[in-house]
Amino acid sequence: MKKIGLFITIMLFTVAGAVAQIYNPVKWSVASKKLTGNEAVIFIKATIDNGWHIYGLHVPEGGPIATSFVFNPSKDYNLHGKVAAPAPQSKFEKAFDMQVPYYAKEVIFQQKIKLNKGQTSVKGFVEFMACDAERCLPPEEYAFNVTIK
């Protein structure tokens, strides 16, 4: 009898775990490249699972959460320009009743910086929202830290 009760308990936890799936459709990575003695570029790459997408940097008001970047202020560097990205795709989404820019599969964002000293670490985070054809996940943040030598 105890074996049957244990079996039922294990099955309930297994089924509950399968129902409460945690989605993580976007994987992030960061790298840097020194361009000159006092210039560098930071590459922030999103690898997106098939069927999922994240939104572009410039989403019309009333739309989904745009992908955005925050760089922690530092005396060691200054941002040079804005975050650059390839041109996004665009599609009409009924949920927002508008055309929205998005990225699927993979996108690499770039931020140029001017260095005030030879080596530094650049810290910050990216906020993004991932969706597929059936659902949108709540906005998430990915914190990054990259060393420039």
Which candidate, 141, 133, 130, places its Cα nearest to that of 23? 130
Which pair of structure tokens corresponds to residue 145?
Answer: 């830290």
Q: For 5, which DSSP code?
A: H
What's the confidence (pLDDT) of residue 17? 40
pLDDT of residue 94: 87
The domain ranges of the chain are 25-148
Query: How far is the C-alpha of 48 from the C-alpha of 131, rounded, in Å?
Result: 10
Task: Take residue 91 and report the two structure tokens written for it.
Answer: 């599609």
- pLDDT, tens digit, 9 for 90 and up, residues 93-118: 988 899 999 999 999 999 999 999 88
Placement of tokens 């572009």 in the chain: 56
Collect the ranges in the chain with pLDDT lower than 50: 1-20
* CA 143 and chain centroid, separation: 9
At residue 130's C-alpha, the angle toward residues 93 and 33, to 5°, is 120
β-strand partners of 128: 140
Q: Model's pTM, two decimal places?
A: 0.84
pLDDT, position 8: 40
Give me the torsion for CA of 130, 136, 139, 144, rounded to 10°.
-20
Residues 46, 26 contacting (CB under 8 angstroms) = yes
CATH number 2.60.40.1250 given to 25-148: yes
- Residues composing the chain: 149
In the chain, DSSP finds a helix count (H) and a strand count (E) of 1, 11
In angstroms, the CA 15 to CA 6 distance is 14
